[in-house]
Structure 1
Amino acid sequence: MELMVLWDIDHTLIENAGVSKEIYAAAFTALAGRAPVGPARTEGRTDRLIMRDMFQRNGLAEPDWTAVEGALSDAGEARRQDLSRRGAALPGVREVLKEVSVRSSWVSSVLTGNIADNARVKVAAFGLDPLLDLAVGAYGADAVQRPDLVAVAWERARRLRGARDGVPVVLVGDTPRDVEAALATGSEIIAVASGVHSTEELADAGARMVLPDLIDTGRVLGILDAIAAR
C-alpha cells in the first residue's frame, strides 16, 4: 500500500510564535530600506504571494524574486535560534511523523508556502527534519498558488523516489487554503484545527476529515492506512 503524505509546517507541525511574521518584515525592510506599514498576511499563502502583497500594500514595486528569496533566506537563518527558543513542535507531531517515516512504501514530505531554506530552518529547529523526506517537498518558491505545489511534489517523488501513477496523495494542513489545494488537485485532505481556523471553518471549506490536533497518533495512522488501502 503506497501513499504520499504532504504536511504543512506552520501551525500544523510547529508553532512559530510570531517568528514567521518577523522574517517577512525583516526581508521587506532589507529590500525596501524601511519597515512595512503592517504585518504580513499569511494563512496558507505562498511566500511569493505574501511578499508581493506586502510590497503592493506599501505602494512599492515588487523586486526581482531572486532578491526576495535571498532576503527571506537571510532573515530566516538569522532567526533560527529565536524560533528554537520561542516556538515548539506541536503536540503529537513528533510521534506521528516517526510512525509515518518507517512505512517503507510511503513518502512523507512537506507542502508549504515557505521557501525551502526557511522550511528547513523551521523543521530543523525542533529536530523534525530527519523524519521528513525534504528533497521531494514543494515550497513557496516553486509556484505562486498553493494547489500548483502538489504537482511539484508529485514530480519530485516520481523522479527521486520512483513514485508510481495513481498513488494517493494526502495533504495535512490547518487552513482553508490547504483544503482548497487538496480539492483542486484530487488529493485527500486531513484538516487540523491547530491554527487560527476552527473545525467548522475547515469543514465549511470542504474538508471531510477534520481533527482538533495530531495528538492521537493511532487515529491519524488509521486514516492514512484507510486512504492507502483504497
Structure 2
Amino acid sequence: MELFVLWDIDHTLIENAGVSKEIYAAAFSALSGREPTEAARTEGRTDRLIMRDMFVREGLPVPAWHFIETALTQAGEARLEELRRRGTALPGVHEALKAASAQSGWISSVLTGNIAANARVKLSAFGLESLLDLTVGAYGADAELRPHLVAVARERAQRLRSVSADVTTVLVGDTPLDVEAALTTGSGILAVASGIHTPEELTAAGAADVLPDLSDTKRVLSMVESFAGH
C-alpha cells in the first residue's frame, strides 16, 4: 500500500513553548534594527507570510526573501538548546512516527510553514528527525500558501522516491489551514486538537477525523490507512 503521510510540526509533533515567536522576533530585529511591537501571527501560515506580515504591520519595507531566510536560520540555530529546554515532543509522537516509518509502502515526511533549517532544528531538539524522510518534505520557503506546499512535496516524492503521481497523500495537522490544504488538494486529513484549535473548529473547517493528540498509535495508523484508495 502506497501512502504519502505529511506531518505538521508545531503543535502537532512538538510544543515549542513560545520559542517560535522568539525566532521570528529575533529575525525581524536582525533585519530592521529594532524589536517588533507585536508578536508574529502564526496559526499554520508559512514563514514567507509570517515575516512579510510583520514588516507590513510595522510599516517597514519587506526585505528580499534570501535575507529573511538567512535571519530565520540564524535565529533558529541560536535557540536549539532553549527549545530543547522549554519545549517537548507531544504525547505519542515518537511512537506514531516510528510506527509510520516502519509501514511498507509508506513515505512519512513533513508539510510545515517553517523553513527547512528550522524544521530540522525543531525536530532534532527532540530526536524526531531520523523518523522522517525530510528530503521529500515541503517547507515555508517553498510557497506562500500552505495548499501549494502539497504539490511541492508530491513532486519531490515522485522525483526522489519514485512514488506514483496519484499517490494517496494524508496530512496530519492541528489548524484549519492544515484542513484547507488537504481538502483543496484532494488529500486526506487527520486533524489533531493538540494546538489552540478545538475539535469543533477543526470539524467546522471540514475535518471528518479529529483526535485529541497522537497518543493512540494504533488508532492514528488505522485512521491514516483508512484514506488509502480514496
Short-chain TM bin: over 0.9
Using structure 1 for the length normalisation, give the TM-score: 0.99
Aligned to 1:160: 160
Give the C-alpha shift of residue 191 in structure 1: 0.5
Give the C-alpha shift of residue 97 in structure 1: 0.3
Aligned to 1:224: 224
Q: How many residues align?
A: 230
* 1:190 pairs with 2:164: no
Using structure 2 for the length normalisation, give the TM-score: 0.99
Aligned to 1:51: 51
Aligned to 1:131: 131
Aligned to 1:86: 86
Secondary structure of the corresponding residue to residue 190 of structure 2? strand
Amino acid at match of 1:105: G
Give the C-alpha shift of residue 224 in structure 1: 1.8
The alignment yields a C-alpha RMSD, in angstroms, of 0.7
Amino acid at match of 1:80: L
- Mapping 1:100-119, distance limit 5 Å: 100-119=100-119
Q: What are the superposed Cα offsets for residues 55-103 of structure 1, whole Å, 9 maximum, x if unpaired? A: 0000000000000000000000000000001000000000000000011
Give the C-alpha shift of residue 229 in structure 1: 5.2
State the distance in 1 between where 2:34 and 2:81 align: 24
Secondary structure of the corresponding residue to residue 184 of structure 2? helix
For the 8 Å contact 2:142–2:149, the answer to whether it is kept is yes
Secondary structure of the corresponding residue to residue 37 of structure 1? coil
State the distance in 2 between where 1:58 and 1:78 align: 24
For the 8 Å contact 2:168–2:229, the answer to whether it is kept is no
Aligned to 2:176: 176
Q: What are the superposed Cα offsets for residues 146-203 of structure 1, whole Å, 9 maximum, x if unpaired? A: 0000000000000110010221100000000000000111110000000000000000
Structure 2: stretches of 5+ with no match in the other structure: none
Deviation larger for 141-150 or 163-172: 163-172
Amino acid at match of 1:98: K
State the distance in 2 between where 1:225 and 1:114 align: 26
- Mapping 1:199-210, distance limit 5 Å: 199-210=199-210
Aligned to 2:148: 148
State the distance in 2 between where 1:204 and 1:12 align: 19
Secondary structure of the corresponding residue to residue 119 of structure 1? helix
Instruction: Kindly report structure 1 stretches of 4+ aligned residues shifted beyond 2 Å.
Output: none
State the distance in 2 between where 1:229 and 1:130 align: 28
For the 8 Å contact 2:190–2:224, the answer to whether it is kept is no
Give the C-alpha shift of residue 228 in structure 1: 2.3
Amino acid at match of 2:116: A
Structure 1: stretches of 5+ with no match in the other structure: none
State the distance in 1 between where 2:27 and 2:192 align: 29
State the distance in 1 between where 2:30 and 2:65 align: 14
For the 8 Å contact 2:80–2:125, the answer to whether it is kept is yes
State the distance in 2 between where 1:158 and 1:167 align: 9
State the distance in 2 between where 1:7 and 1:118 align: 15
Secondary structure of the corresponding residue to residue 226 of structure 2? helix
Aligned to 2:39: 39
